[in-house]
Structure 1
């Protein structure tokens, strides 16, 4: 069993939430119209998954969630997976369909999916994953770590002070930093605001470079690369789905990119402090099993967090002539 515990430094984190991307609706397994867990008389369950977009991090979280359900419930659970392709309206359609089908539990993978699920039902249990900060995602002031009601889940928030320290460790002589993110993603805005404060306190000149979607990513990334010694990309769904654009601009220019998670680092970065999205999803699945079996009350379940690992992209580091510190592990 994988256990995820909240790190103490996250207790003071304030807020932010993701926005995102989605794929045309499609199912990975057949849906059913089973009733709520309390009403199921045959011990079977139907779980609906609404995933924001198809990229490595979210895919891994979904896989971990599904594996946990299958490991502990076997054939007793039917999973109805749908991906909405960067369209919040499609998230809403998916979640409303889950409610109409009276699924036993909804997994919302990324913030727009969570927001859609919250709007769709106050009764069916909702677990979320790949959410940076639930307070911002759900409009909760003074968020204390437990959402209450019919919502709980896991968070992918990494320690942002340590992310900033990572950049300084690799490039202590850097003078300018560009923070590249999608302006439509609230969690990304939160992360770059914190990173900017940390780097400015260390004496760097920091500029935020916001792109609205993938259509203007290349031009904004070019501006950031032209003006910055180093770049930072947070856990941003749009960036994660378009790392090839970022890499195609920054690597030929010799500009190092630091990333908020492993998937982005694999595509365009030199280093990251990364969580395991698979483990995050697996823990969310374990929470789901407890709820479905009546062993836990979702209204009292706190948001769970995970630890981070220092990782580097050997291919890009070699090409840029960078040597990773001894405590970094190469991304496989």
Structure 2
């Protein structure tokens, strides 16, 4: 087949997939790449550049907020850099926080015959894994792949199925230690999380155990969705002098609700990640969501071009952890943090 015909057919296939997802769930679709890279496609020596293949990548993102957006951006940037912008097309779909919409999106990607699916957040990973056992799935922004998929990872951290990726969990024992170090006289920690998110339940259970090890009293304050968040936060503030929130998508999407209750009451919040800390938290042991997304993109490249099997690729932990704090909230609460904490730029 002549090169011109091949390019035309690739373009038609890409357009058809994008239109299918638009018709099916009405989400935001972006099948063109707008990223800039420091490496041109002409410099790329991959198989894609050699045969003019355009890889079709479906991206299912659970909800739009800063942390997940940064992970998606990192993923796209990695593949554009490695493949060249003319050899990859992204179909980005946002489920607006609804797990059933994740399933619809995943099924449309499978029916459209994408080359690989990126699943951003736990509910998206569950939906994409359920939708296919053959198309590679690379997850990111997932707290525990084992808990999300109800499987046991092998000794090397591999899933044994068509799924790999990067998790977003900063060590919970270190997060509990931050609470102990900053608030040695704490009377009770409120663990505030969405009970509908398996990733949040996982974190709540595990940090509770670490708080027990530190002899810190704690109590769960769970809510089923954002409609309950203000009332539950009010209860939490009335009973606790410190709040801990895990990497929870409902929390991340509704930080202002929590902040409007906790800050006036003088109750500090320790967060699971930076974007939460920006909106409502005092401090966090934070990862960089762009970095874990970028690493997931590198994993996707190894699958697509180097022929690696996702079943045999370890799920990877974040590589960098930073103690951060919100200077405005620290000032409002009259709390001074040590030099080992880095102020968030606001």
Fold match (TM-score > 0.5): yes
Matches within 5 A, 1:126-205: 126-141=137-152, 144=155, 145-205=157-217
Shift of residue 297 of structure 1? 2.1
Aligned to 2:55: 45
Secondary structure at the residue paired with 1:216? helix
Q: Larger Rg: 1 or 2?
A: 2
Q: 2:107·2:131 contact (CA, 8 Å) conserved in 1?
A: yes
Distance across 2 between alignment mates of 1:131 and 1:297:
20
Distance across 2 between alignment mates of 1:296 and 1:122:
16
Secondary structure at the residue paired with 1:27? coil
2:58 is the alignment partner of 1:58: no
2:297 is the alignment partner of 1:308: no
Q: 1:266·1:313 contact (CA, 8 Å) conserved in 2?
A: yes
Q: 2:326·2:344 contact (CA, 8 Å) conserved in 1?
A: yes
2:90 is the alignment partner of 1:88: no
Q: Which residues of structure 1 form unaligned runs of 5+?
A: 1-22, 32-36
Shift of residue 192 of structure 1? 1.3
Q: 1:24·1:84 contact (CA, 8 Å) conserved in 2?
A: no
Aligned to 1:321: 334
Shift of residue 304 of structure 1? 0.8
Secondary structure at the residue paired with 2:226? coil
Q: 2:252·2:276 contact (CA, 8 Å) conserved in 1?
A: yes
Secondary structure at the residue paired with 1:253? coil
Q: What is the aligned residue count?
A: 304
Distance across 2 between alignment mates of 1:150 and 1:72:
22
1:163 to 1:119, Cα distance in 2 relative to 1, 3 A = same
Distance across 1 between alignment mates of 2:230 and 2:287:
27
Match of 1:26 among 28, 31, 45: 28
Distance across 1 between alignment mates of 2:190 and 2:135:
42
Distance across 2 between alignment mates of 1:24 and 1:219:
32
TM normalised by structure 1 equals 0.88
Distance across 2 between alignment mates of 1:177 and 1:116:
33
Secondary structure at the residue paired with 1:114? helix
Shift of residue 203 of structure 1? 2.5
Distance across 2 between alignment mates of 1:319 and 1:65:
36
Q: Deviations over 1:131-190 (max 9, x none)?
A: 101111111136541012211000011100000000111111111110000000111111
Q: Deviations over 1:293-331 (max 9, x none)?
A: 134222210001113111001110011111111111011
2:123 is the alignment partner of 1:121: no
Distance across 2 between alignment mates of 1:160 and 1:231:
15
Aligned to 1:253: 265
Match of 1:224 among 236, 254, 260: 236
Distance across 1 between alignment mates of 2:26 and 2:249:
16
TM normalised by structure 2 equals 0.85
Match of 2:305 among 293, 298, 306: 293
Secondary structure at the residue paired with 1:152? strand
Q: 1:24·1:83 contact (CA, 8 Å) conserved in 2?
A: no
Q: 2:129·2:137 contact (CA, 8 Å) conserved in 1?
A: yes
1:112 to 1:146, Cα distance in 2 relative to 1, 3 A = same
Shift of residue 111 of structure 1? 1.1
